[in-house]
Structure 1
Amino acid sequence: MEKIIRKLESWYKTNIKHTREPPIKLIDPIFHHHKIKTYGNDLRNPELPLEDRATAASYIGMLSYTGGSNAAMVASAYIKDMIDILLMPDTSSEVRIAVLKGLCGMCYISYTNQNEAKESHLTEILLSYLEEDENISATDPEALIVKFWVCYLMTVVCCNNIPYIKLIKEVGGQTLRANLESLSKKNWKGWPENYAELMTALSLMISTPHSLPLKYLA
């Protein structure tokens, strides 16, 4: 019995004790870049259902957000493709939400992607979504959620980007302010912030910083 134990100890010391696991990479750039390009192919595939292409857009955004600045740079190649989907007439709320989510992830930590989206006329698209008839919510309950995501995306692209805030305020004018005020009164339960209210605060910051609500000055 003693010989067996010694053999086991010897085998353990030789094969187990000195074997070290390779370090785990919490963010693997190769994985993120590969997956972004894979979903990018789906996004650009006109033979796929639009819902599947929109889902691919949301995955690209998630990978861009979790993969850091380099992943966001890779994902930037697909901004125009996402905006092209938002420009399509009569797209469902489900498709719009998925694409808006994707753009949120891509622009969240990337000033470059924010400006790339701006150059692709994202501002005008978002403003047009906010101007759509509110009564449509009666037949499409998700239509209001689309507007919530628009408000969130607006705050994302305006993050540390004062020129973008000025552009949205200039193009949107009083119509934007009225739409944001209306949306700020809706039920934002389940969201971290009332992003319509936050976007209003950001636009006020440009011209009258002292009129900001106290919670945004803290």
Structure 2
Amino acid sequence: MGEFAWTPPGPDSPPFDGLNPDHVYDLIQARNCERARYKYDLVGADRRQSQPVKWQLLNGLIGACFALTGQEDQWQTAIDSYNSIKGQPSGDCKYAAGFRSLKQLAEFRIKYPRGEVRIHKTPAGVAACPTRVDSVSTRTAKPGDVVSVRGTWPSEITVYLGTREVALTEESSDKACCQNAFAAFEIPADMTPGTVQITLKTATVDLDAGPLDITAS
């Protein structure tokens, strides 16, 4: 018997583009095999050619996902996909995490064609992509200006300027979580000039996005 951890959570990609490979990864990670296969097929062969290696990885993981529910023939899908992409240049964080899982499962089944596979839970705190702030659009702003932050975080965020909570703009409200997220907020009209820290608060961690100089309007 082989015992393995399933591919770790992303965190989730923004939900506004359900046909991107990162979102399909999220469905696979949640063991939502049917939905992942539906999205994969919906993308279509032509669009999958824009990122063929990543989509082939997802095809293999979807096969493994079904195989783990008892559809034994799907192990061959996982093995074929693995054989077609091994040795290919590594991709982003979700690709790397997914490839590690597919490699373990496929190589085990190649070595032990009738071997039983058991999946255990991913350890708490393990994620495919690191939590981080990638960029802030500006370090100087006045009341009424819109400032944006890009990065990856584990859950929905609340933005603080110093100790003051500020609302996300409508434009960014559906893009503010979680992988490759985009969060934008407007400097309040009555914000006092000075330097404040931008803090993104999630349910489990606070991210320091650095200082912002507020000038007079």
Asked whether the two chains share a fold, i.e. TM above 0.5, the reply is no
Please state which structure has a larger fraction of its residues in strand: 2
Larger radius of gyration: 1
TM-score (normalizing by structure 1):
0.29
TM-score (normalizing by structure 2):
0.30
Larger RCO (CA under 8 A, 6+ residues apart): 2
Please state which structure has a larger fraction of its residues in helix: 1
